[in-house]
Homo-oligomer: A and B are copies of this chain.
Amino acid sequence: MSFNSFGHMFRVTTWGESHGPAIGCVVDGCPSRIPLSEADIQPFLDRRRPGQSRFTTQRQEADQVKILSGVFEGQTTGTPIALMIENTDQRSRDYGDIAARYRPGHADFTYDQKYGIRDYRGGGRSSARETAMRVAAGAVALKVLATLLGPAVRITGALVKMGQYSVDYARWDDAEIQNNPFFCPDAGVVSLWEEYLTSLRKAGSSIGGVVEVRAEGIPPGLGAPVYGKLDADLAAALMGINAVKGVEIGEGFAAANLRGEDNADPIRQEGGEVRFLSNHAGGILGGISTGQPIIARFAVKPTSSILVPVPSISSTGDNVEVITKGRHDPCVGIRAVPVGEAMMACVLADHLLRHRGQQG
């Protein structure tokens, strides 16, 4: 059962609400003798942290991670690694509005239907704040991958579409991703995005986006043919990120338009090296990695926390108009980039350990 856990061999359990004393996670199944310290995790949290540009929520959190267990003298011990971040910016405010009204597009209504009780402060477990712990767990996963597979392992995420404005893949530059507030790999589109997002923010509106995540240096053989498929697990992991409404691998939905001969990836051998001539498959065939880069994309809806009024009901059933004030991201797709990277790292670490276990 997995209400708040994911993974099997590399298993992550998260806990905490954005307005409680802390949030945290337990990483179970991490092999022993992986070098690990808080300094390995903090930079990833810093990338995800809000308040770094005017394009993300102004909520200020230091997001300082602490390792509470599972590490001894700089190395993992094989026992559970507990990570915790104390919540420091629990701004005291009046939640009367949110407590009494269901914000459209939010989980307020469904929480009440399911649990009959709701921690309305900041979205409870559905707060994007929970994703900080995924990023922390992803940093541990990346250390596992790098230690077991070597330095060729690299996971790269980027925002490839904001509203209708896509990047030009011909201009893709990994180095550019860190140069702008959007994790955008195409320098040519950055100023357009800046203007666009500024206008949306002023209008109190929001916009969706598409994120791409790529893993390099992953050996062939990870995954399984039927229900432990690597792509199925990636789909669950990425669809499970807040506000995600679609996931695709490799060619994805565009594969529906292709003929068999155009979608197949030819294989050649040269000097003993096996090489695929294209990567429509996104690095996965029959649920198992091919050794090519693993490529996934996911669509993030526009946040429903906007200043434009939307019809809704109160928790007592009255018709109301809801405006969601507060500190929000006009394009939540931006901050979903490091989260997507983290989820891919976790899924790959899990499958790597599973694969090792299955070997005769």
Contact, CB under 8 Å: B208 / A110:
no
Interfacial residues of chain A within 127-163, with CB under 8 A of chain B in the complex: 130, 144, 147-148, 161, 163
A359 contacts chain B at the CB level, 8 A cutoff: yes
A247 CB, nearest partner CB in chain B, Å: 6
Chain A 92-127, CB within 8 Å of chain B: the 1/0 string? 000000000010111101110111111100001110
CB neighbours of A341 from chain B (8 A):
none
CB neighbours of A306 from chain B (8 A):
260-261, 264
A186 contacts chain B at the CB level, 8 A cutoff: no
CB neighbours of A113 from chain B (8 A):
220-221, 288, 290-291
Copies in the complex: 4
Sorted nearest first, the 9 A-B pairs with minimum C-beta distance are A107-B286, A357-B357, A246-B248, A31-B360, A110-B288, A235-B239, A236-B236, A206-B260, A232-B240
Contact, CB under 8 Å: B125 / A226:
yes
A162 CB, nearest partner CB in chain B, Å: 8
Nearest chain B residue, comparing its CB with the CB of A281: B105
Nearest chain B residue, comparing its CB with the CB of A16: B69
Q: Can you offer 8 A-B residue contacts whose CB atoms are under 8 A?
A: A26-B26, A77-B119, A111-B288, A229-B240, A239-B249, A240-B287, A248-B299, A356-B357
**A82, A116, A124, A308: which has the most chain B beta carbons within 10 Å?**
A82
Interfacial residues of chain A within 253-304, with CB under 8 A of chain B in the complex: 253-269, 272, 274, 277, 280-282, 285-291, 299-304
A251 contacts chain B at the CB level, 8 A cutoff: yes
Of the candidates B26, B236, B287, B357, which one forms a contact with A353 in the assembled complex, judged by CB atoms under 8 Å apart? Answer: B357
Binds B, one of A50-58, A187-195, A313-321: A313-321
A20 contacts chain B at the CB level, 8 A cutoff: yes
Binds B, one of A2-10, A41-49, A177-185: A2-10
A16 CB, nearest partner CB in chain B, Å: 4
Alpha-carbon gap, A166 to B355, bound state (A): 40
Contact, CB under 8 Å: A79 / B125:
yes
Contact A114 B355, CB 8 Å, known A105-B264, A256-B209: yes
Alpha-carbon gap, A233 to B239, bound state (A): 9
